[in-house]
Amino acid sequence: MPTDKKNPLYYVWEYNDVDRAFWQEHMADWLPMKIFDAHTHINDPRHRLVKPTQAMRQQYWVNEVFEPIGADDAKRCYSTVFPDREFSCLAFGMPSLDYDLQASNTSLQQATVQKGWYSLAVIRPQWSAQTVVDLLNKEHVIGVKVYYSLISEDTGSRDKHIEDSIYEFLPHHQLEVLNEYKSWVTLHVPKADRLGHPDNIREIREIHERYPNIKLVIAHLGRCYTLEHAQEALPQLSDMPGIYFDNSAVLNPQVHRYAMELLGPNRILYGTDNPIFYMRGRRQWHKRTYTNRTNYPFYFNTDRESPEIEAHYTLYMYEALRAIKSAAQDLNWSRDEIDLLFCGNAQKLIADCTHKI
């Protein structure tokens, strides 16, 4: 392998010669010139209220690999991983009560105005309709990011409310405002069974029918990281063209192919879930479960691969791009269809959201 040219990226990872070679071989001549990331987390580290303990980090692999990233560092990282591309994004803070959500929303909104990006406000279900209105009236704020862990704090587990109804963290008084403002809503679905749980399907269909002006974007393809989950869930919403999906954090090429074939080119938005997916490694799947591989000695990373294999690891976000490219080629997608996924679909939704009442 060529000598690594050190280039700090994020947290414990460098951008190295493996990544440069991957970009040149797989992406430089294929990826569109305009990239829009519809799912990225940007949170000024100053707004973290609770410093995670080692025990908290070891609860869940994301806790171990995540550190908050400010807007300037996020821009630097995106310039590194998307060389010679025109980049923009829809950013939101970490949906966690370990952060000062109001301060985070404010600083991110200001940063996105400065950089020409857009943001979603992270909101709690207890917040009033007027609070949501005030957030939506700010420049470059086009909607909200909601998450079940924002119902109440639990330092012992992020999943205290995972089996709750969507309406418990996205209540009707907020939905009414979001509908009036034609807002974008990025929804991370609850339930251990993921998108395919009957309550999720029923409630998502209800929300779309009752609040048709909302631009409902289901994050992570409904947390369908395995083909089994995708086949179980996605067909149940395939007949509703007004419901969209971002493909952030999905690495499985079979899932990408299945979703792209089922939903077509107009309903999927590219997303990274960065900074988390700057992690170096690869993912492997077995039925309804997956295993994350990485070359850093995290607590969760106990079943290491050989140094020879780890030496060829690239970034998770690049592995996701490889999977999308493979699916697009299998389906013979045109350049116009690929452009929709990577930028056009998001731009169309934003154009509608930015028409404030």
CA distances from 170 to 125, 129, 176, 203 (A): 6, 11, 10, 11
CA dist., res. 131 & res. 125, Å (int): 11
Residue-wise pLDDT tens digits, 97-136: 999 999 999 999 999 999 999 999 999 999 999 999 999 9
Whether residue 104 contacts residue 49, with contact meaning beta carbons closer than 8 Å, is answered with: no
What local confidence, expressed as pLDDT, does residue 333 receive? 98
Question: Measured between alpha carbons, how far apart are the two ends of the chain, in Å?
Answer: 57
Q: What is the pLDDT, as a whole number, of residue 1?
A: 40
Coil vs helix vs strand at 170: coil
Residue 357 confidence class, pLDDT cut points 50, 70, 90 = low
Q: Kind of pairing, strands 141-146 and 118-122?
A: parallel
pLDDT at 67: 96
Distance CA 66, CA 45 (A): 11
Confidence grade of residue 354 (pLDDT, cut at 50, 70, 90): confident
Distance (Å, whole) CA 267 – CA 105 = 27
Nearest to 323 by CA among 286, 263, 283, 295: 283
Block residue for tokens 């009033």: 128
- Hey, what's the torsion of the CAs at 284, 286, 290, 294, to 10 degrees? -30
CA separation for the pair 132, 123 (Å, rounded): 8
- Residue whose C-alpha is closest to residue 58's, from 188, 160, 156: 156
pLDDT per residue as tens digits for the range 243-258: 999 999 999 999 999 9
Q: What is the pLDDT of residue 316?
A: 98
| DSSP string of 247-259, one letter each residue | -TT---HHHHHHH
The CATH topology of domain 8-353 is TIM Barrel (3.20.20)
Mean pLDDT of 194-218: 98
Per-residue pLDDT band for 356 (boundaries 50, 70, 90) equals: low
Task: Report the percent of the chain where pLDDT is more than 70.
Answer: 97
Please, which pLDDT band fits residue 5 given cuts at 50, 70 and 90?
Answer: low
- pLDDT above 60 for 322: yes
**pLDDT of amino acid 19:** 98
Distances, alpha carbon 351 to alpha carbons 328, 356, 357, in Å: 26, 10, 13
Residue 293 pLDDT > 70, yes or no? yes
Residue scoring higher pLDDT (155 or 339): 339
**What sign has the CA pseudo-torsion 237, 210, 118, 153?**
negative
Query: Which of 97, 88, 94 is CA-nearest to residue 107?
Result: 94
User: How high is the pLDDT of residue 91?
Assistant: 98
With residue 125 as reference, give the H or E element that holds it: none
271 Cβ neighbours under 8 A, 6+ residues apart:
37, 38, 39, 40, 219, 246, 247, 248, 249
Helix (H, G, I), strand (E, B) or coil at 289: strand
What are the pLDDT digits (tens) for 30-50? 999 999 999 999 999 999 999
Which has the minimum average pLDDT: 5-14, 85-94, 217-226, 264-273? 5-14
Q: What is the reported pLDDT for 82? A: 98
Q: What is the pLDDT of residue 2?
A: 44
Confidence of residue 174 (pLDDT cuts 50, 70, 90): very high
Nearest of 164, 209, 205, 204 to residue 187 by alpha carbon: 204
What is the C-alpha R_g of the chain? Answer: 19
In sequence order, what are the beta bridge partners of 64? none
The identity of residue 117, as a single letter, is: W
Positive or negative, the Cα torsion across 233, 235, 240, 244? positive
Beta bridge partners of 144: 121, 185
Q: Find residue 168's DSSP bridge partners.
A: none
Mean pLDDT of 81-91: 98
User: Is pLDDT above 60 for 4?
Assistant: no
User: What SS3 state is found at 46?
Assistant: helix
SS3 state at 211: coil
pLDDT of res. 304: 94
